Each structure stands twice: as structure tokens, then as C-alpha cells.
Structure 1
Amino acid sequence: MLLTLTTTHRPATDLGHLLVKHPDRVQSFDLPAGTAHVLYPEADEARCTAALLVEVDPLKLGNGRRRQAATQDSFTLGQYVNDRPYAASSLLSSALAKVFRSALRGESRDRPELAATAIPLEVRVPVLRCRGGADLAMRVFGPLGWAVAATPIPLDEAYPEWGDSRYVDLTLTGTLRLADALNHLYVLLPVLDDAKHYWVAPDEVDKLLRAGAGWLADHPERGLITRRYLAHRRALAGTALARLAELRLTDEPAADDSVEGGPATGDGAGSEAPRASLAVRRREAVLAALHASGASRVLDLGCGGGALLAALVADRRFTEVVGTDVSSQALTLAARRLRLDRLPERQRDRIRLWQSALTYRDDRLRGYDAAVLMEVVEHLDPPRLPALEDAVFGHARPGTVVVTTPNVEYNVRYEGLGAGRFRHADHRFEWTRAEFAAWVDRVATTHGYTATISGIGDHDPEVGAPTQLAVLTSTETSTRTEETTR
């Protein structure tokens, strides 16, 4: 079985540093079911490809109790005559974990900054057993930022009337951290295979949550992914889903994504890139606003479980990232999501997690280039908003403040969200576009900011976009920028 990983990041040969595998050598590793080889078919400044080739020994694979999990191969001869040596499966996932261990953790002694940076990547698995077909491959990889080309492989090209086999030729293209890409593959290859080659024990729950940190809790197919990864063991899947629910309690509200975060449409062959969930588009819009402001030291106020923090930390333009939340549990979850205990010291020094209430002045928050209030203000009782305004805009006074909040007018487009209901049980209010504009204008006028307002998500001509975005810029910052430009 084969997997190739290609980058055009320059110099592309830095991929060897990230994978800790030298492009000039073929390296081999013993596996319980065979041997893994890492080699580089191409390696120059412009383009570098690393190939992971796994040779499965049917005799090794047939021995022992590992075969208990693969019930469809449970007949005697099937233990030795099957598709495991040729089609990517959970065996390839296990090889990834052993061969690229440090890369999966996001660690690189030689290139720590690059390990934390999103780079252009192309992953190809030419033969992947995919129970659910090309459409399922689109549904599980698409929401993670990948452009997915999943081409069904015919049973026999000479007899097209026989139809397609249960295998696909999978190509993923995107700009992601290498660690994120490898963790996606580690989890989702056995999910698509849906037949693990080893017995699933309770410690698999921790493995799943560790590899799924930062993306699985918000994935629209998290239920299917969890059940399949844990080999449909109901008790283990229930435990994993409950722990994922804890992450979501202190993260972004689920109902925001119930429409836009559904399964992507398409023909399954990758002709059209899947639409990202509203949560992903929201984070992208916030990051774009921060980039436009030129900020390098950023506050994530009310950071929750750390979804935005992870994106900020992955972007090396931000030299200092601070997450604050009133909940100590939320900060613990954020630390777990960021894997603070595993980050290289240089990366860890960029990050601060502070317990702080946004309705009280906090001197630690003064002097930052920008602050983000992403899906935060609607969680406060309206009488407490003036205290937040004073603490953030009056006392902390960051150069730029980015605010997002739901557009209540859009709620009619969500099925099952009846009149008068909010998108999340903890919301104290949700503003119309006019109400949000009035609040932004009053805050800007009172505290010396200029403001622009836009929408995030698909715009509906009648009710607008699902999320509202305001970027408030201090007039002092604007003046300094104009003077620098002159």
C-alpha cells in the first residue's frame, strides 16, 4: 500500500526536516504486520514528494488475535488471502504513527517555525478501501480544508458494466500544517476502511481525541467518525462523544453550523471544492481582518476551548497570542487542544492563557495590537455589556477589535429553530443587523474607534448573512498608520 505526500513550499526539501527523514536515503521500519519504507521519488527546491510504502506480510497479519476486528476476513483462508497488502487501510494509519511520530505531534527540532506553519500539501492514496464510496471521502475530508478528488476504481476496466469497486483513488490538496494533515489521515483512513486490523481497546478513545484535537469536536460527521474509528463499540463511542461534547460546551455553538456545515455537495470526483463550515469561514474571516490590521500581538477574549487560538498559533505572523476566559475548565481544554505540554519551547513562549472576566478591567490586557471577541458578546446579559465595553474598549484599548455575533434575522433559514429561539442555550440575546450596527456605532463613537461591518457566510438577499462581523480600529492607530505612510 502506498501514500505520497508532496509540497511546493520553498525550499521544498524542508519536508525532509519536518518528517525527520532524509531525502537522499531509503529508510525501512519494522511493523507488526510487515515493513514500512520511506523514500523520495522527487526532491528539489521547487517540489518534494515523500512516499510511504508499506509491505504487508500475510503470515504476520494472519497470526494472533488482531484478526478478531476484521470480521469480513474471518474465514480461515481469508486471513491470508485478502486486499490488505494492496489497499490503504488501518494498517497504513498504524505505519504513519510509527514512522512519522514527531511530525504527527507537530515537533521539529530543525524547523520549529515551519512545523507550526500551514504549507501547500498534496496527499495521494492511489488505492483506498472506502466503505461509503467517494461521497463519504468528500464528507470527512472536505470540512477540514481539503479539496478532495476521490475517483472510484472500476471493478474491471475491460468490463465497465460491472460497475465500481469498493476502492477509490484519493487525492487531497490544501494548505495546512503538516501535523494537522497527518492527524487527519491517521484518524480518517481507518474510518473510511471501517475494518480495523487490531482489537480496539479503551485506550483508543484517548488516541482518537489526541489526534482529533482542534478539529474533530466541530466536524459535522464526528458521530460517524467516532463510531467507525472505535470499531462500532458502543460504550467506547459513547465515552468519546461525551468528551467531545465537553469541548463543544466551551467552544462555538453547534447550531451556527447546522445549515452551512452540512455534507458538501458534488459528484464525488473532486470537480468542485467542498464548502467549508460556518465555523471555519468565521475563523478565516477573523484571521483575514487581523492580517489586514497588521497586528502581531493578539488577544482572543473569551477563547473557550481554543478553536481560534489554534489557528492563531499556527500563523507565525502573530508573535504573541493570549487567550482569556472566565472558565478555568475552558482554559484547560484550550491548553489540551494546543498541546502546550508538547510544543517546542520557542512556540510555547508565544502563548499565554489567562483567567479573566471581560466585565472587569485587567491591566494585563493593555497594549496589544488587536483583540477578538468571536461569538462572545451574545453570552452576556445586556445590562453587563457596558462593563465589557469599558473593560475592552476603554481600558485595554487594543489598536483593533474584531467582533463576530449571530445575525438573528438569519435564524429562519435553520430548520428546527423555531420563532423566538436562539442558536445556543447560553445566548442571552441575538441582534438584528440594525441592532448590531447601532451598538457598533455607539461603541466606536464613545471610545474613539472607526468601524466597518460585513457578513460571514452565504448572503441571503432577504435576511443577510448568518454571522455579523465588525472591525473597529482605534483612531490613534489610524493616525499613526497615516503618518507612517506619509
Structure 2
Amino acid sequence: MFLTISTTGTPERPATDLGFLLHKHPDNVQAFSTSHGTAHVLYPEASAERCTAALLLEVDPVALVRSGKGKGRGGAPDAALAQYVNDRPYAASSLLAVAIGSVFSSALHGKCKARPERAARPMPLRIEVPAVPARGGAELVRRLFAPLGWTTVKADPVPLDEQFPEWGDSRYVRLVLEGELRLSDALRHLYVLLPVLDDAKHYWVSADEVDKLLRAGEGWLPTHPEQKLITSRYLARRWSLTRSAMERLELVRLADTDDTDVADIDNAVEEVPDEASGGEHAEEKPEAKGDEKPVLLAAARRAAIVAALTAAGAGRVLDLGCGQGQLVQELLKDPRFTEVVGVDVSMRALTVAARRIGIDRMGERQASRVTLLQGSLAYTDKRLKGYDAAVLSEVIEHVDLPRLPALVHAVFGAARPRTVLVTTPNVEYNVRWETLPAGQVRHGDHRFEWTRTEFRKWAGEVAELHGYTVEFVPVGPDDPEVGPPTQMAVFTLTDPHHAQSPKEAKAA
């Protein structure tokens, strides 16, 4: 398996800077052990004008099969002979992608202490891979790479046998990519798309592959026209993983195209058009009484949540759909909350949350109190069991109604904390915002907004189904006609051993 990366330079920006970016010195030939063979890095040419780095991967196909690493879903063929007589050592596939991720890890993530400015800027690149299996042909190769900024995408078919042209072309192409891109972007494209073109992986695809895909696809996959095909093939056509990845990619796409933050999608504050309070996405500020300063509704909501958790005697708390970590940050201020876990579907939001609460600056004792986890609330998660309380603050209205029972089961049926707090907009209060058009929800991603009666009916059914009692608390000014802007339900577990009947399980 062979890959070359070439660039050109000037005396001011020599091409040999490629060695700094790849963290591999041009004067050395280096070898690296991988789980499936040996990777060699060498430089056929290295001058200020032009530099080429080559990655040569030696794979032992027999050892690969015998170790079981060639038997992943979508990997080695079932035929016994094909396990030993195959293209694994020669054609670029997931084996080469894994080698890229291992040998060029720092470059893949855009890290370079010696030349940070070079790592952050596009540079002229030419990438060549002599043999790439392409299930879909040269046209698919162009559809995958052309939208990513490559000015030249060549996929020349390799004939089955040059001596017998009548046999036609094989499923392999010689790939050449040229363009001005950041090296990290180019490597991430290869990392994802090489196994996609092969439509196979040499290892079993598990749930953590979704995270790998989203990290490598950040900045380009959410808007790629072949997103669905890429996601499905990369995840070995495992439907449940593909669905999870597509949902998360859609959240990122919405955040980017709407020019809103991920927190607005995953755990939005109640937002209304209000020119007086800061523009289209400003938080509503309840009117102050007398000389009192107006209180942001989001801040009032966090205060109500903290008060309810304190009253419940909760020490270990889950913030489900934590967004950018505003509530997590608030809870960490109170030593009564001994453990705070933020959970969100968006890795981008969790990154912002970590920065907001300053995890990297915390002392060991404080850092031990907080954990940030990536996860979807539509699925049960054993990591969420055993906590005193869980908070769903401005989350349920972002879930499609047919999928809401899955979230309910994951939280109330599987995790089963002693206390669950749920806040959601009160649609009746919307009439008090003159700048919010009639019939319009407060946020573009809201799937629904409930009246007080609708919310109480839903909450009562959830409590009865899962062995909880429920009380309701107004958040914000409680208007005598339309109620508060935010409604909060406080669920308390009364039957820890509540077992669902078959009918209840089916309903969940």
C-alpha cells in the first residue's frame, strides 16, 4: 500500500516544512509498527522547491486473517481462499486509513508546535495513491472529493490486464488529488473516504466509530452532497450507527446554516425576536419590579433548577442535553453537588462546555466533580444509572414527538434517577411577546411547544408509567392569564422497583 504527499515551496516558505507538519524528518527513513503490519515513512525528494513524503504500508495478509482482524463486518470475503489471496497488501483501504491516523496523528489533528502558522494555512498539495478500490467507479471518486476543494480529482481506471485490454477495467483506480488545502483537511478526507471507496473495513465497526467519523468529518461532512453514502459505508452499513451519525450531523448542519450556536439546537434557551434586548436571538428579560434589575429567563431557569435539586437533596446530578455547560457551571459553584455529569449529542458543544467551565485549569479535587459525556438521549446508556437527579432543561421540545417515548424510556425507564426535572416553554405565554408573530415557536428547531394542560397531561402519564409522582413549578413571572414563560415538572421516584408490564414496555 503506497501513498505520497507532495508540496511546493519558496525560499521564505520552503517545501521541506512538510516534514515539520508530518512530524517526520526528511533526512530519515522511519518505520512504525501497526496492528496489521509495518508502516514506513520516507522522502523521495526534499528541497525548498519541492518535497514529497511517502507512506508505505506492509501488510501480512495471512497474519491479518489468522489474528481475526480481517474478519470485521464488510471486511474479508467469506470464501476461504479469498482470505489468503486478496488485495489487502496492495490496495488502499481502511488499513491505510488506520495507518494515516496512527503515523500522522498530529498532522491529522492540525497540530504543529514548530510551524503552527503553516498547519493553519492552505498549502499546494498533490496526493497520489496508485491503487484505490472504488466500488462505484471513477465517477463516485469525483463525487466524493470534488466538493471538498480539490481543484484536480483524477481517478484513472486500472485495467484488469494490460495484455488483454478486452477484459476491461478492474474496480481499482489510480487516484491523484491536487489543490490548495490545509494538510490536516487533506488527511481527514483520506482517513474517511478511503474505506468508503472500498466499502469495507478490516475490523468490527462499533459505536465509537461514530465519534471518529464526526471528528474526522468536522467542517465538511455535514454539508457534503454524498453525506448519507459516506456515513453508511464508513459505518459498514450498520443501520443503527448510521442513523445516530446522521442525526448528529443534522444538528451540526442546522447550527451552521442558521448561524446559531450548537447550544441553541441541543439545549436552547427560550429565544424570541426582540430588537430592544439584543436582536433576533436575544433571551427574553422578564420585566423588573420597582428598582430590581431584570433577570434573564435562562438565569431564572437555572436558579429554579438549583433550588429544586437542593430541595430534593441531590448530590450526584446529570445534566442531559447540557449544551455549552451553563447549568453545569452553575452547579459546580455549590459544593453540595458532589458530582455533575453533562451529557450532549454534540462534540462541538461539549468542547465549548469544557472551555467554559475551565476543566483544564481546575485542581484535581474540583475536576473530579465534573464529567462531560457524548451520548444521544434517544438510547439507553448504562453510564447514566445510579444518579440522584437528572435535568432535562429545554430539551424535550427539540425532539420529534414520535421519538419522545424513546427519550422517556432512556431516562425514566432505564436510568431511573430519584428526581427528574423537566423544563419546557409554555406556549400560552408567547402572546406576551409582541415581536413574536402569532403561531410561531420561540426557536426554529422546536418541534412543538405545549400549553400547561398538554405538558401536565404528558408529565402525568410519564409519572404513572414509570413509578414517579410529579409536581409543577412556574419559572419566570407567573402571568394570571397565560401562566409563566417556562414550566417545570419535578418528578420524584416513589417505586424504585417498579416493573413495566408488557403493555407499558410496548408503550415506552
Shorter-chain TM-score tier: 0.5 to 0.7
- The question of 1:32 aligning with 2:35 is answered yes
1:23 Cα deviation (Å)?
A: 0.2
Deviations 1:157-178 (A, max 9, x none): 2222211100000001111111
- Residue 8 of structure 1 corresponds to 8
Q: 1:72 to 1:31 in 2, by over 3 A?
A: closer
Q: Name the amino acid aligned to 2:68.
A: R
Residues 206-238 of structure 1 deviation map (CA, whole Å, 9 limit, x = unaligned): 110111111111111110000000000111111
User: Structure 1: where are the runs of 5+ without partners?
Assistant: 254-301, 307-323, 346-380, 385-423, 427-486
Number of aligned pairs? 286
Match of 1:241 in 2: 246
Instruction: Verify the 8 A CA contact 1:26 1:38 in the aligned structure 2.
Output: yes
Look up the equivalent residue of 2:63 and give its one-letter code.
K
Q: Tell whether the 8 Å contact from 1:65 to 1:199 is kept in structure 2 after alignment.
A: no
Residue 372 of structure 1 corresponds to none
Give CA deviations for 1:437-457 in whole Å, capped at 9, x if unaligned: xxxxxxxxxxxxxxxxxxxxx
- Aligned-partner Cα distance in 2 for 1:157–1:339: 57
Q: CA deviation at 1:64?
A: 2.9
Give the letter for the 1:7 counterpart: T
Q: 1:72 to 1:110 in 2, by over 3 A?
A: closer
Residues 162, 329 of structure 1: alpha-carbon distance in 2 compared, 3 angstrom cutoff? same
Residues 304 and 330, structure 1, Cα contact 8 Å, conserved in 2: no
Query: Which of 142, 163, 166 is residue 168 of structure 2 equivalent to?
Result: 163
The aligned residue for residue 108 of structure 1 is: 112
Alpha-carbon offset, residue 33 of structure 1: 1.3
Q: 2:128 aligns with which of 124, 127, 144?
A: 124
1:86 pairs, out of 57, 77, 90, with 90
- Residue aligning to 1:144: 148
Q: Say if 1:329 and 1:250 are closer, same or farther in 2 by CA, change over 3 A.
A: farther
Q: Residues 241-280 of structure 1 correspond to what in structure 2 (within 5 A)?
A: 241-252=246-257
Q: Distance in 1 between matches of 2:77 and 2:90?
A: 15
CA root-mean-square deviation: 3.1
Instruction: Return the letter of the residue paired with 2:65.
Output: G
Relative to 1, partners in 2 of residues 1:338 and 1:154: Cα closer, same or farther, differing over 3 Å?
Answer: farther
CA contact (8 A) 1:213 1:337 kept: no
Matches within 5 A, 1:71-470: 73-147=77-151, 148-252=153-257, 302=259, 304=261, 329=323
1:340/1:159 CA distance change after superposition, 3 Å: farther
Partner SS for 2:223 = coil
1:252 is displaced (CA, Å) by: 1.4
SS in 1 for 2:6: strand
Equivalent AA in structure 2 for residue 195 of structure 1: A
Separation in 2, partners of 1:20, 1:234:
38
Q: SS of the residue aligned with 1:243?
A: helix
Which residue type is aligned with residue 59 of structure 1? V
Whole-angstrom distance in 1 between the partners of 2:353 and 2:99: 22
CA distance in 2, matches of 1:26, 1:46: 21
SS at match of 2:112: coil
Q: Does the CA contact (< 8 Å) of 2:137 and 2:171 recur in 1?
A: yes
Match of 1:41 among 36, 44, 51: 44
For residue 330 of structure 1, report the CA deviation from its aligned partner. Answer: 8.2
- Equivalent position of 2:66 in the other structure: 63
- Check conservation: 2:128, 2:176, Cα contact below 8 A: yes
1:221-279 per-residue CA deviation (whole Å, 9 max, x = no partner) reads 110000000000111111111111111121216xxxxxxxxxxxxxxxxxxxxxxxxxx
1:18 to 5, 14, 21: 21
List per-residue Cα deviations over 1:170-220 (Å, max 9, x = no partner): 001111111111111100000001110111111101110111111111111
* Aligned-partner Cα distance in 2 for 1:74–1:87: 19
Secondary structure of the residue aligned to 1:67 is coil
Shift of 1:109: 1.3
What letter corresponds to residue 162 of structure 2 in structure 1? Answer: E
Supply the AA of the counterpart residue of 1:230: L
Give TM-score, length-normalised by structure 1.
0.54
**In structure 2, distance between residues paired with 1:32 and 1:149:** 31
Tell me which residue corresponds to 2:328: none
CA contact (8 A) 2:97 2:191 kept: yes
SS of aligned partner of 2:128: strand
Deviation sequence 1:333-363 (CA, Å, 0-9, x none) = 656789997xxx9xxxxxxxxxxxxxxxxxx
Q: Which amino acid aligns with 2:229?
A: L
Q: Distance in 2 between matches of 1:137 and 1:106?
A: 25
CA pair 111-199 structure 1, distance change in 2 beyond 3 A: same
Matched residue of 2:172: which SS? strand
The CA distance in 1 between the partners of 2:125 and 2:166, in whole Å, is 36
TM-score, with structure 2 as normaliser = 0.52
Q: Highest Rg: 1 or 2?
A: 2
| C-alpha separation in 2, matches of 1:144 and 1:336 | 26
Aligned-partner Cα distance in 2 for 1:243–1:15: 34
Classify the secondary structure of the residue corresponding to 1:201: coil
Whether the 8 Å CA contact 1:32–1:60 is kept in 2: the answer is no
How far does residue 65 in structure 1 lie from its aligned partner after superposition? 2.9
Runs of 4+ in 1 over 3 A off after TM superposition: 302-306, 324-341, 381-384
Q: For the Cα contact (< 8 Å) 1:154–1:163, is it kept in 2?
A: yes
Structure 2: unaligned runs, 5 residues or longer: 264-279, 284-321, 326-345, 361-432, 437-442, 446-508
Q: Is the 8 A contact 2:133 2:172 kept in 1?
A: yes
Per the TM alignment, residue 31 of structure 1 is displaced from its structure 2 partner at its CA by 1.2
1:145 alignment partner AA: G
Q: CA deviation at 1:303?
A: 5.4
Offset of residue 71 of structure 1: 5.2
Change over 3 Å in CA distance of 1:78–1:326 after alignment to 2:
farther
Higher RCO (Cα < 8 Å, 6 or more apart): 1
- One-letter amino acid of the counterpart of residue 172, structure 1: L
Contact in 1 for aligned 2:222/2:249 (Cα 8 Å): yes
CA distance in 1, matches of 2:42, 2:172: 25
